[in-house]
Structure 1
Amino acid sequence: MSLTTVDPSGGLTRDNLRSLLAAVCAGTGLDPAHAELIKFTNNAVFRLAADPVVVRIAGSTAARERVDTVVRVACWLERHRFPAVRLLAGVEQPIRLDGQVITLWERVQDNGPRPDGAQLAGLLRRLHRLPPPPGGLPPWSPMDEVRRRLAEPEELSAEDHAFLLRECDEVEASLAGLRFVLPPGVIHGDAFLGNLIAGRRGPVLCDFDSTSVGPREWDLTPVAVGRLRLDYPGDDHAPLARRYGLDVMGWEGFPVLRRLRELKLVTSVLPILRSNPAVRAQWEHRMRTYKAGDLTTRWQPYQ
């Protein structure tokens, strides 16, 4: 589905996000009044007030290039009755608006109990048993994603840009030497508790931007890194490891996957550093400690 609206060439600022939201709602019969911007990092995500719908606007070239796969994965999971978010029925998706790419989702009432690591592990075990969708999935290519972000940064110094490009080269070389212990297959690609929604009938999985075919160890890494690096309450890694049957932190290749995960956490907001000033202080903190090789200082989630 294609629509024409305001020219968004000035970047995804909060003002033109509202214009994009108004245009897509006008074209689909939805009401944008009092919509809440609940996330603005890799993607901008609005929760509509008048309709049980979530609007997701891809926030970078890399994110826009993945949306067709996101739609295909969502349809495939629905066919398998997998507990995941569902695309809004009756609308041809994705929607393209003057170079921007938008998807519409059924809103999940997130009033259930907080999901934990064991529940995420159960969903991952179930996901990892599924056959790939018709037409397959892209191969796991984490460095391609990071390099695309580095190709369109906002307000990144030349020194930091050069450092991050060197990191890409070093991490890629280290990845090539890993010997994984689990068989490769379908992976979520960004499996942490922030991508579970606490539905009334149990948690449901969301965010399929990184879904691909790759090493299952990668799906166990985000929660492990979250325990070591991010200031989350409690420990979700231990129950995840017990339920899944592998403690990825005890595997010899984990330091490489940790470095990759932290590199992705540092670079994730580069395309919107100027557009969303609220992330700047936390990004600078992450960049400073990552660049110094500091593995102990805690990071906070982007707001």
Structure 2
Amino acid sequence: MADRVDKVIQVARWLEDGGVPAVRLLGGDQPLIVDDLKVTLWHEVPSTDHQLTGADLGAILQQWHALAPPETGFPSWNPVGEIRSRLDEPDGVDLRDLAYMRAECDRLEDAVATLTYELPPGPIHGDAFMGNLIAGVGGPAICDFDSSCDGPREWDLVPVAVGKLRFDYPGDDHGALTGGYGFDVLAWPGFPTLRRLRELKLVTSLVPVLASRPVLQPEWRRRLETYRSEDESARWSTYTRAP
């Protein structure tokens, strides 16, 4: 995580310069070094009870994607590399399951390399789901720039679309996002490949901490097995609602 700090600072300052509604760094040189740890300081976003929708996220992503890239650039999109890094630090995961997920990484890496995109590439958020949007008194603001990079803009539209297909969220954030952004990623021919990639990220998110989170293991097992069997109709539960 420490390797991402400088990039996160760069992204935050780039967004502030471009006027994109996002969390803001405090002034002064950052990061601070405290006991050999990198520390960043941020302005708190005063919260409100406003109900966020996909339209809010779509409008912010539209602004984000319209910004001119910074001169120094961002790291290149490498979603399979992030998944592999999790699989390299398993905690209580069966070796056969690890072998399957590693093989799936290889397959998806090859499949992603063959995709043809419709939107122009450039700086992306990298993990643009509703949970990374804050309802502030001054309006919605986006946060969490750990996955930000240069990549296909379609990737920023995939998380909410997968949320519509996999989770029983209230409302239709995907439809609202599509209206706010102006592009329906579900109608794009490459979506099935990026759906599998996003779902593999959701499956592997617990791999480094699975043994220490026994209450979440049944849902993790269900995700893995329905992913493996390509059961696209199965609904997943969020880990925060796990019994």
Q: What secondary structure, in the 3-state scheme, does the structure 1 residue paired with 2:115 have?
A: coil
**1:200 Cα deviation from its structure 2 partner:** 0.8
How far, CA to CA, are the matches of 2:204 and 2:46 in structure 1? Answer: 31
**1:112 Cα deviation from its structure 2 partner:** 3.9
The 10-residue stretch of structure 1 (192-201 or 66-75) with the greater mean CA deviation from structure 2: 66-75
Q: What secondary structure, in the 3-state scheme, does the structure 2 residue paired with 1:246 have?
A: coil
Q: Which amino acid aligns with 1:196?
A: L
Q: Which amino acid aligns with 2:216?
A: V
Q: What secondary structure, in the 3-state scheme, does the structure 2 residue paired with 1:105 have?
A: coil
Matched, 1:86 2:27: no
Report 1 or 2 for greater relative contact order, CA contacts < 8 Å, sequence distance ≥ 6: 2
User: How many residues are aligned here?
Assistant: 240
**1:277 Cα deviation from its structure 2 partner:** 4.1
How far, CA to CA, are the matches of 1:97 and 1:230 in structure 2? Answer: 41
Matched, 1:264 2:197: no
Matched, 1:290 2:227: yes
More strand by share: 1
Q: Which residue of 2 aligns with 1:169?
A: 106
How far, CA to CA, are the matches of 1:240 and 1:80 in structure 2? Answer: 21
Matched, 1:130 2:67: yes
How far, CA to CA, are the matches of 2:87 and 2:66 in structure 1? Answer: 34
1:222 to 140, 145, 159: 159
Matched, 1:180 2:117: yes
Contact 1:112 1:201 in 2 (8 A): no
Contact 1:229 1:297 in 2 (8 A): yes
How far, CA to CA, are the matches of 2:195 and 2:107 in structure 1? Answer: 13
**1:180 Cα deviation from its structure 2 partner:** 0.6
Matched, 1:203 2:140: yes
Contact 2:31 2:38 in 1 (8 A): no
More helix by share: 2
Q: What secondary structure, in the 3-state scheme, does the structure 2 residue paired with 1:178 have?
A: coil
5+ residue gaps in structure 2?
Answer: none
1:194 to 126, 131, 134: 131
Matched, 1:239 2:183: no
Contact 1:77 1:84 in 2 (8 A): yes
Residue 168 and residue 96 in structure 1: after superposition, are their counterparts in 2 closer, same or farther (change >3 A)? farther
Residue 276 and residue 74 in structure 1: after superposition, are their counterparts in 2 closer, same or farther (change >3 A)? farther
Residue 238 and residue 258 in structure 1: after superposition, are their counterparts in 2 closer, same or farther (change >3 A)? same
1:25-84 per-residue CA deviation (whole Å, 9 max, x = no partner) reads xxxxxxxxxxxxxxxxxxxxxxxxxxxxxxxxxxxxxx3332221121112212223211
Q: Which residue of 2 aligns with 1:108?
A: 45
Q: What secondary structure, in the 3-state scheme, does the structure 2 residue paired with 1:274 have?
A: helix
Matched, 1:69 2:7: yes
